[in-house]
């Protein structure tokens, strides 16, 4: 009888153990359950951003606005030139004449010029055949489209400008035409940001060199310099002509919107250079157009734009809101609006070109017809005929970023003291723009209690209005002090099934967590993700995705320690002290994004964590330059000054006494 009882007890114990065992088939469905809708993430980000749109100033009189405008210009230039060597910023234009194409009544001069040392671009100078006295000049810039400086509509306007007696300088644009190498793709400038140079500075210098050239040409009337461009060329026109008073008349075409409109329509946000870090902290693009007052400005937008910036959607923010500034400066008629109906798409075709001819002719006092020359079509050259040629070893955006990164060296002390750690921690808070948050509401979305394991699915709403999701897992017979593990994967919750099962089987409570921009916490739709757009807009208003993610990691760790896992308390409830539940939490990550966010959280809030194991990790941010990542792949790593000021070895030292293993082996599956 006694023997039978022992056997029964043994079988019961085995059954309990078996029921408590976490298996792939039990855990995977729990980790795959939907907890967040992309529409919710999008809406939260929109409201978060809208609260941070800089308001339009309300100057009392013209002198007050002139003073404030100058302050805004200088502040924007300080941001744009952040991290760029002063010698590069101050360098005189270096243009080389390569060849000349003689045409009827004008000529095309092929030019090569240096943007920064080792990185050259090309340009075409359209000169009138006969030049008498000082003549006007126009800087013609390119946008997001194939063809570069040879694109048909750009050639046509430059030809017609030259025939009107205007010197027209057509610049190639990074990423297009002769600079169309894959490593010049615009979102690669995040690598410049990481290395400590604001990536937009490269784009600004590239177009400013063209302005410098025209301004220093002895044939040019310095009071009659204009600028125009379509799409990204419209953005360039807005930016340079607002910040550099040497440009008088400007015609930006379908190239930008107010920040409010971009938040409402993220497809209008543009590329990384158009949302560069901190550029719109105190001045939105709407303010920059206001800064142009009273200089002549013609805004052209298209009625049925098939790319972006539809006229009826952007008009309020870029035109109607700005008219009072031109009135204040005594020139209400100097801000003009034209809505293109034919073809109405994203274009710089004949209607828009003739509007620009009319506008520049009037601004520059050129007495000619507004109509385009009838033989213009026959004057268009082939792409091949307009090639200037670049050095074989010409740098690219990625190449320049690698060059800057190679000069960075970090050597944290082998035994860092508290003063060093505190100083570094303060700098890290600034670089990551770390702003602590709390879990304001842990929404229980689901709960299961079967097969010896319990689970809860949560949507975590934070005190800043953003949210994240996670699944909490635990064995029903786990020891009271079994500890807690936080798991985060670049690939989403399901990728942590093995690690979660391993931790549950060892008696640990496990939260498989997805911060903002991880897993299902992505803005947009399943078909059209807007992660890149919203991440870049966070950057441009002075926030950083990395800091937001690190703050969410710290906040859910606080929540885990507080033991509030059974739902949210009723207001006024008496909540007992957390007691022994405040033990530090162990963390495991999968991939460089989650690794970096968790290490930053541990470095800033080391008291929250006991250890950090990083699977599939990088040992140094230098690895990002060996195999370049983009905003789409790693929006959090594209953090201004991150690699300039820190490496993972530095962050690990700051996080002490947290035990950080950046070479941790991924757990092997020990269950069926």
**20-31 pLDDT per residue, tens:** 466 777 899 999
**461-472 pLDDT per residue, tens:** 999 999 999 999
| Interacting residues of 122 by C-beta distance below 8 A, sequence separation 6+ | 110, 111, 112, 113, 149, 172, 177, 178, 179, 388, 389, 390
- The yes-or-no verdict on residue 279 having pLDDT over 60 is yes
Comparing C-alpha atoms, which of 507, 368, 380 is closest to residue 108? 380
Comparing C-alpha atoms, which of 645, 603, 638 is closest to residue 624? 638
- The yes-or-no verdict on residue 363 having pLDDT over 60 is yes
Strands 585-590 and 609-615: parallel
| Assigned CATH class of 22-50+408-567+579-661 | alpha beta
pLDDT level of residue 414 (50, 70, 90 thresholds): confident
- For the chain, domain boundaries: 22-50+408-567+579-661, 62-405
Comparing C-alpha atoms, which of 142, 59, 131, 130 is closest to residue 386? 142
CATH topology of domain 62-405: Rossmann fold (3.40.50)
CA distance 549 to 600: 9
Same fold flag, 22-50+408-567+579-661 and 62-405: yes
Which pLDDT score, from 0 to 100, does residue 18 have? 41
- State mean pLDDT over 412-430: 95
Q: 3-class DSSP state for residue 496?
A: helix
Which pLDDT score, from 0 to 100, does residue 13 have? 37
pLDDT level of residue 570 (50, 70, 90 thresholds): confident
Strands 106-116 and 484-489: unpaired
- State mean pLDDT over 66-71: 97
Which pLDDT score, from 0 to 100, does residue 452 have? 87
Which pLDDT score, from 0 to 100, does residue 635 have? 95
Token pair of 7 as six digits:
């056997």
Which pLDDT score, from 0 to 100, does residue 21 have? 60
Which pLDDT score, from 0 to 100, does residue 578 have? 55
- The yes-or-no verdict on residue 123 having pLDDT over 50 is yes
Q: Percentage of the chain surpassing pLDDT 70?
A: 95
pLDDT level of residue 629 (50, 70, 90 thresholds): confident
| Interacting residues of 117 by C-beta distance below 8 A, sequence separation 6+ | 88
Secondary structure element (H or E) that encloses residue 502, with its range: helix 497-505
Which pLDDT score, from 0 to 100, does residue 4 have? 45
- Look at phi and psi of residue 174 and say left if phi exceeds 0, alpha if psi is from -120 to 50, else beta: beta
CA distance 508 to 474: 7
CA distance 479 to 114: 67
Comparing C-alpha atoms, which of 227, 164, 166, 167 is closest to residue 369? 164
Which pLDDT score, from 0 to 100, does residue 16 have? 37
pLDDT level of residue 671 (50, 70, 90 thresholds): low
Which pLDDT score, from 0 to 100, does residue 5 have? 47
- The yes-or-no verdict on residue 12 having pLDDT over 50 is no
Q: Percentage of the chain surpassing pLDDT 90?
A: 88
Among the ranges given (46-50, 388-392, 666-670), the one the predictor scored with the smallest mean pLDDT: 666-670
- The yes-or-no verdict on residue 200 having pLDDT over 70 is yes
Mean pLDDT of the chain, nearest integer: 94
**163-192 pLDDT per residue, tens:** 999 999 999 999 999 999 999 999 999 999
How much is the pTM?
Answer: 0.95
Q: What ranges make up the beta strands (E) of 385-433?
A: none
Which pLDDT score, from 0 to 100, does residue 577 have? 61
Which pLDDT score, from 0 to 100, does residue 14 have? 40
Residue linked to tokens 């409109």? 261
pLDDT level of residue 580 (50, 70, 90 thresholds): very low
The single-letter DSSP state of residue 330 is T
Comparing C-alpha atoms, which of 379, 443, 465 is closest to residue 101? 379
Q: 3-class DSSP state for residue 102?
A: strand
- The yes-or-no verdict on residue 157 having pLDDT over 90 is yes
- State mean pLDDT over 587-613: 98
Range of 19-28, 362-371, 443-452, 562-571 with top mean pLDDT: 362-371
**470-519 pLDDT per residue, tens:** 999 999 988 888 899 999 999 999 999 999 999 999 999 999 999 999 99
Backbone dihedral angles phi then psi of residue 570, each to the nearest 5 degrees: -70, 140
Instruction: Considering only CA atoms, give the Rg of the chain.
Output: 29
């Amino acid at each position: 009888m006694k023997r039978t009882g022992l056997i029964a007890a043994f079988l019961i114990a085995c059954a309990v153990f078996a029921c408590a065992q976490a298996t792939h088939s039990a855990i995977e469905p729990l980790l795959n359950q939907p907890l967040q809708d992309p529409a919710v993430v999008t809406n939260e980000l929109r409201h978060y951003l809208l609260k941070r749109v800089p308001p339009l100033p309300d100057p009392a009189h013209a002198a007050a606005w002139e003073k404030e405008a100058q302050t805004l210009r200088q502040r924007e230039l300080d941001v744009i030139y952040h991290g760029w060597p002063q010698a590069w910023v101050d360098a005189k234009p270096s243009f080389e004449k390569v060849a000349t194409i003689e045409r009827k009544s004008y000529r095309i001069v092929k030019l090569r010029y240096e943007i920064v040392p080792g990185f050259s671009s090309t340009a075409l100078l359209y000169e009138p055949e006969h030049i008498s006295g000082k003549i006007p000049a126009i800087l013609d810039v390119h946008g997001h489209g194939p063809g570069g400086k040879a694109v048909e509509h750009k050639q046509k306007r430059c030809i017609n400008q030259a025939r009107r007696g205007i010197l027209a300088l057509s610049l190639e644009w990074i990423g297009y035409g002769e600079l169309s190498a894959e490593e010049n793709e615009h979102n690669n400038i995040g690598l410049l940001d990481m290395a400590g140079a604001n990536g937009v500075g490269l784009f600004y210098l590239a177009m400013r060199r063209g302005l410098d050239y025209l301004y220093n040409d002895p044939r040019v009337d310095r009071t009659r310099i204009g600028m125009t461009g379509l799409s990204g060329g419209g953005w360039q026109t807005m930016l340079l002509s607002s910040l550099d008073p040497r440009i008088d008349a400007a015609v930006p075409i379908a190239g930008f919107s107010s920040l409010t409109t971009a938040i409402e329509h993220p497809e209008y946000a543009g590329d990384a250079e158009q949302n560069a870090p901190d550029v719109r902290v105190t001045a939105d693009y709407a303010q920059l157009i206001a800064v142009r007052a009273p200089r002549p400005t013609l805004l052209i937008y298209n009625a049925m734009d098939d790319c972006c910036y539809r006229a009826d959607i952007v008009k309020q923010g870029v035109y109607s809101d700005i008219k009072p500034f031109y009135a204040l400066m005594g020139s209400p008629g100097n801000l003009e609006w034209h809505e293109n109906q034919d073809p109405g798409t994203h274009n710089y075709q004949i209607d828009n070109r003739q509007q620009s001819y009319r506008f520049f002719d009037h601004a520059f006092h050129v007495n000619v017809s507004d109509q385009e020359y009838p033989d213009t079509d026959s004057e268009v050259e082939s792409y091949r005929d307009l090639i200037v040629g670049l050095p074989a070893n010409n740098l690219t955006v990625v190449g320049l970023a690698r060059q800057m990164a190679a000069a960075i060296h970090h050597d944290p002390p082998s035994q860092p003291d508290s003063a060093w750690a505190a100083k570094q921690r303060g700098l890290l808070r600034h670089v990551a723009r770390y702003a602590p948050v709390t879990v304001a509401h842990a929404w229980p979305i689901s709960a299961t209690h079967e097969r010896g394991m319990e689970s809860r699915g949560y949507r975590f709403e934070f005190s800043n209005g953003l949210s994240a999701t996670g699944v909490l897992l635990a064995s029903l017979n786990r020891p009271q002090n079994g500890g807690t593990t936080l798991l985060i994967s670049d690939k989403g919750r399901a990728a942590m099934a093995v690690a979660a099962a391993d931790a549950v089987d060892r008696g640990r409570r496990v939260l498989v967590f997805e911060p903002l921009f991880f897993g299902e916490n992505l803005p947009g739709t399943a078909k059209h993700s807007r992660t890149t757009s919203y991440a870049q807009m966070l950057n441009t208003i002075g926030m950083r995705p990395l800091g937001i993610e690190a703050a969410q990691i710290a906040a859910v760790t606080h929540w885990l320690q507080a033991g509030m896992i059974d739902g949210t308390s009723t207001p006024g409830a008496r909540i007992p002290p957390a007691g022994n539940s405040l033990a530090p939490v162990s963390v495991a990550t999968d991939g460089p994004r989650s690794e970096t966010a968790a290490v930053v959280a541990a470095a800033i809030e080391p008291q929250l964590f006991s250890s950090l194991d990083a699977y599939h990790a990088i040992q140094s941010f230098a690895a990002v330059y060996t195999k370049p990542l983009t905003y789409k792949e790693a929006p959090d790593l594209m953090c201004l000054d991150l690699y300039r000021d820190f490496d993972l070895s530095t962050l690990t030292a700051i996080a002490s006494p947290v035990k950080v293993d950046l070479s941790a082996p991924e757990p092997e599956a020990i269950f069926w």
